Amino acid sequence: MKNNHLFKSTVKYVPLGEKRESAPEVPEGLLRRCNACKSAVFVDEVKKGFYICPRCNNYFRVPAYSRLRRIADEGSFEEWDTDIAFSNPLHYRGYGEKIRELKEKTGLDEAVVTGKIRIDGEETVVGVMDGRFLMASMGEIVGEKIARAFERATREKLPVILFACSGGARMQEGIVSLMQMAKTSAAVKRHDEAGLLYISVLTDPTTGGVTASFAMLGDIILAEPGALIGFAGPRVIEQTIRQKLPKGFQRSEFLLEHGFVDAIVPREQLRDRLAELIRLHRYKKEAGKNQKSAGQNPVGEGMINEGRTAPKTGASAPMSAWEHVERARDKMRPVGHDYIESLFPGFVEFHGDRHFRDDPAVIGGVALFEGTPVTVIAQEKGRGTKGNIACNFGMVSPDGYRKAMRLVRQAEKFDRPVIFFVDTPGAFCGMEAEERGQGEAIARSLCDLFGVGVPLLSIVIGEGGSGGALAFAVADEVWMLEHSVYSVLSPEGFASILWKDGSRAREAAALMKLTARDLYGMEIVERVIPEPDGLGEVFSRETMDGVAGELKAGIAGFLERYRERDSESLLEHRYQRFRKF
């Protein structure tokens, strides 16, 4: 504020008149200060909306029933287990009173609300934690309600969605609260073994014993933007290591990068995303399908040959092996995400290996392919220099293989076929990759893929480099695009090892038998997909319609061929397919 005397001030002669009944003042509760940007916001508007600061987009905590109103179809909420008796195992003084007070103040019976709702028509069990109730810490009743919700969901064969928000275990209940971590995890396990879907939604803050139990056990883990998610709280960590934590540490984005969260979903989109995910997982295993019906489909050459389709002989002039290599590496060539976009509209991406990192060289997720849910996992080179660098040129890290295998196991749980796209110069050769066990990660993939009881199809779309490619190509059928290549090593590497001269790559390529046609002849692949071959026609995302059409028909045929196979015959077939080499 400033007062100045550049101009003479107003000569005030307004009569004071009678005093106004109500002097200007901001009524209580009209405005509240946003804890992030410090600006005043209208409480009404925030509550009517999604509890988001209109200025800085900061997320406020949402009371449980408000959350339910925004997620559930109107009138669909049926609340469960509101009458669990309170006990005070440590006889902690004042605890009972505190609980009584909170019940009155919040209208909640405990820190979690559970029950059944419909989301866009899809029935699901739901649990929502409410931070107003002792920071939604988990004591006996919270653990009990969550365990019961999972048990009932298991009985009624329903998915579970849990909105986590918690400070952790409830100290007032001591060891009893610690036991809730195991109790809830056990209930999740049974639900999981019944093949049912559990989506965990992490909201601010999710910490301590809740993070270290059911919150991190979702088949799919979503997080709200900017939420604090961790085991130890940031203050505890700072005190322990005597260092200041970097900005963004333990926030949703940090967890996504570190592979613990499938996706960050803005609050406004949560409802739609949840409905979509339930829909994608609604398809139950059909009766009888997974029963081991030995002998139903004789395994052997006949079946393998069924998928074998001789390559069409193109009219174009024959190409040298090296020209194939150049084409397979061409910058214009469609990459993993181009195939996903053109073949799998509505693809929902899942991130992370749940161990260390989300590898951007691998894209994985779920989509409906002509009505059938499939898991799609693609090696991704990225487009343009920036994209290439972001995706590490398609060189997959251990985290990428672990992410792929996580999604494969998920596909098996939900009985979805898996379609791999292979396009890598080879697994990433870097220090970090070795530190995290590149060899182990590839080996584990090769081994475990032989135990996955759902159909696997692998399509080499560009470079199929070495073990890095093979870890995505242990499948029931492997197809190649006409000018893609698949080899034990790059021609440069081959020349350098055998002849100590990497520049003789062209010569090496001719020897290596790495073209689709050669590999078809050697029964390494079942099918060769023709590429546009017109004079001067560049194969790019603009000209990929023909290839996409061929693949679409091919994938439909593959799914049809393998639909009825039981898992035992699938595994035997896969075993024999590789056993013969």
Partner 1 sequence: MIQKLLIANRGEIAVRIIRACRELGIETVAVYSEADAGSLHSELADQAVCIGPGPSTESYLNMERIMSAAMITGADAIHPGYGFLSENARFARLCERCHMIFVGPPSRVISGLGNKQAARNTMAAAGVPVIPGTDHPVTQVQEGLELAEEIGYPVIVKAVLGGGGKGMRVAYGKSEFENAFLTAQKEAQAAFGDGNMYIEHFVEHPRHIEFQILADAAGNVIHLGERDCSVQRKHQKMIEESPSPGVSPALREKMGEMAVRAAKAAEYVSAGTIEYLLEEDGRFYFMEMNTRIQVEHPVTEWVTGIDLIKEQLKIASGERLTIRQEDVHLNGHAIECRINAENPLKNFRPSPGYISTLHLPGGQGIRVDTGIYSGYQIPPYYDSMLAKLIVHAEDRAQAIAKMLSAMGEVIIGGVDTNVDYQFEILSNEDYQSGKVNVDFLKDHEIGGVKIEE
In the complex with partner 1, the residue whose CB is nearer, 56 or 294, is 56
> Would you say 182 and 172 are in contact if contact means Cβ atoms under 8 Å apart?
no
List the Cα angle 389/392/398 in 5-degree steps. 155
Q: How far is the CB of 39 from partner 1 (least distance, A)?
A: 6
Nearer to partner 1, 8 or 580 (CB): 8
Nearer to partner 1, 50 or 65 (CB): 50
Q: Which is nearer to partner 1, 27 or 288 (CB)?
A: 27
- Least CB distance from residue 50 to partner 1, whole Å? 18
Q: Which residue lies nearer to partner 1 by CB, 27 or 246?
A: 27
CB of 5 to partner 1, least distance (A): 10
Name the minimum Å distance from CB 17 to partner 1.
Answer: 6
Distance between alpha carbon 157 and the CA centroid of its chain, in Å? 23
DSSP labels, 344-371: -TT-EEE---SSS---TTEEEEEEEETT
Q: What dihedral angle (degrees, nearest 10) is formed by the CA atoms of 210, 216, 218, 222?
A: 100
Please tell me whether residue 146 adopts helix, strand or coil conformation: helix
Token pair belonging to 182: 């195991």
Smallest separation, CB 31 to partner 1 (Å)? 6
Nearer to partner 1, 12 or 580 (CB): 12
Task: Please give the Cα distance from 502 to 512 (Å, whole number).
Answer: 14
| Residues in Cβ contact with 410 at an 8 Å cutoff, skipping those fewer than 6 apart | 219, 350, 375
256-276 burial code (b ≥16 CB/10 A, e <16): bbbbbbbbbbebeebbebbbb
Q: Which is nearer to partner 1, 41 or 544 (CB)?
A: 41
- List residues near partner 1 by CB under 8 A: 1-4, 6-7, 9-17, 20, 22-27, 30-31, 39-42
The pair of three-digit structure tokens given for residue 509, joined into one six-digit string: 């390529």
Q: What does 69-92 look like in DSSP terms, one character per residue?
A: HHHSPTT--EEE---PPP--TT--
Sign of the alpha-carbon torsion through 265, 266, 271, 272: negative
Beta carbons of 136 and 111 less than 8 angstroms apart: yes
Q: Distance between alpha carbon 377 and the CA centroid of its chain, in Å?
A: 11
Min dist. Cβ of residue 42 to partner 1 (A): 8
Which among 307, 306, 319 has a CA at the least distance from the CA of 482? 319
CB 26 to partner 1: min, Å: 5
Render 480-519 in DSSP notation, one character per residue.
Answer: EETT-EEESS-HHHHHHHHHS-GGGHHHHHHHHT-BHHHH
DSSP state of 214: G
State the minimum distance, in angstroms, from the CB of residue 52 to partner 1: 16
Measured from the CB atom, the residue of 27 and 318 that comes closer to partner 1 is 27
The two structure tokens encoding residue 265 = 């979903």
Q: What's the one-letter identity of residue 106?
A: T
Nearer of residues 42 and 578 to partner 1, judged by Cβ = 42
Q: Cβ 417 to partner 1, closest distance in Å?
A: 34
Nearer of residues 40 and 332 to partner 1, judged by Cβ: 40
List of residues 6+ apart from 296 with CB closer than 8 A: 564, 566, 569
First-last CA distance in the chain: 85
Q: What sections of 166-219 are H helices per DSSP? A: 174-193, 208-211
Q: Name the DSSP class of 171.
A: G
Q: How many residues in total does the chain contain?
A: 581
CA distance 530 to 540: 14
Minimal distance, residue 213 CB to partner 1, in Å: 41
Tell me how far, at minimum, the Cβ of 514 lies from partner 1, in Å: 48
Region of 198 (left: φ > 0; alpha: ψ -120 to 50; beta: rest) is beta
CB of 31 or CB of 194, closer to partner 1: 31
Q: Which residues, 6 or more positions from 312, have their beta carbon under 8 angstroms from its beta carbon? A: 530
Shortest distance, position 64 Cβ to partner 1, whole Å: 28
State in angstroms the smallest separation of the CB of 225 from partner 1.
21
Q: Name which of 45 and 523 has its Cβ closer to partner 1.
A: 45
Peptide bond into 373 cis (omega under 30): no
Residue 35 or 313: which CB sits closer to partner 1?
Answer: 35
Q: How far is the CB of 25 from partner 1 (least distance, A)?
A: 6
Tracing tokens 């504020």 back to the chain, one arrives at 1
Nearer to partner 1, 9 or 313 (CB): 9
Residue closer to partner 1 by CB (options 2, 500) is 2
CA distance 486 to 391: 20
CB of 54 to partner 1, least distance (A): 10
